[in-house]
């Protein structure tokens, strides 16, 4: 499991970033075809691709990652 924190909502062009919260932790669902995009479930509850430049990776221990996954899925 991989987690990122949202550090920016700018520079996404014509697409809205209204469904991202600065400072919020998001789980990366799967690597996208392009290394510059991340698929996450945003605040709307739907999964979307967002530029990786909006996020910073967060490393957590495996036990913590499992608990975070369960909490974010609820």
- Domains in the chain, number: 1
CATH number at residue 31: 2.30.30.40
Where in the sequence is the domain holding 60, given as residue range(s)?
Answer: 2-73
What's the rounded Cα separation, in Å, for the pair 29 and 48?
A: 10
pLDDT value at position 62? 86
CA–CA distances in Å: residue 12 to residues 33, 60, 68: 18, 27, 27
pTM given for the model:
0.77
Q: What is the pLDDT of residues 27-67, one digit of tens each?
A: 998 765 667 889 998 999 899 888 888 999 998 888 888 88
Starting at the edge strand that comes first in sequence, how are the strands of the sheet with 55-58 ordered? 47-51, 37-41, 25-31, 2-6, 55-58
H or E element, residue 28: strand 25-31
pLDDT value at position 56? 92
What's the rounded Cα separation, in Å, for the pair 5 and 53?
A: 11
Q: What is the pLDDT of residues 13-37, one digit of tens each?
A: 666 678 899 999 999 987 656 678 8
């Amino acid at each position: 499991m991989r987690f990122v924190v949202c550090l920016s909502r700018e520079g996404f062009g014509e697409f809205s970033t209204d469904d991202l919260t600065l400072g919020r932790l998001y789980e990366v669902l799967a690597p996208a075809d392009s290394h510059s995009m991340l698929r996450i479930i945003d605040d709307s509850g739907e999964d979307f691709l967002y530029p990786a430049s909006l996020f910073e990776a967060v490393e957590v221990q495996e036990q913590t990652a499992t608990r975070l996954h369960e909490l974010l899925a609820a």
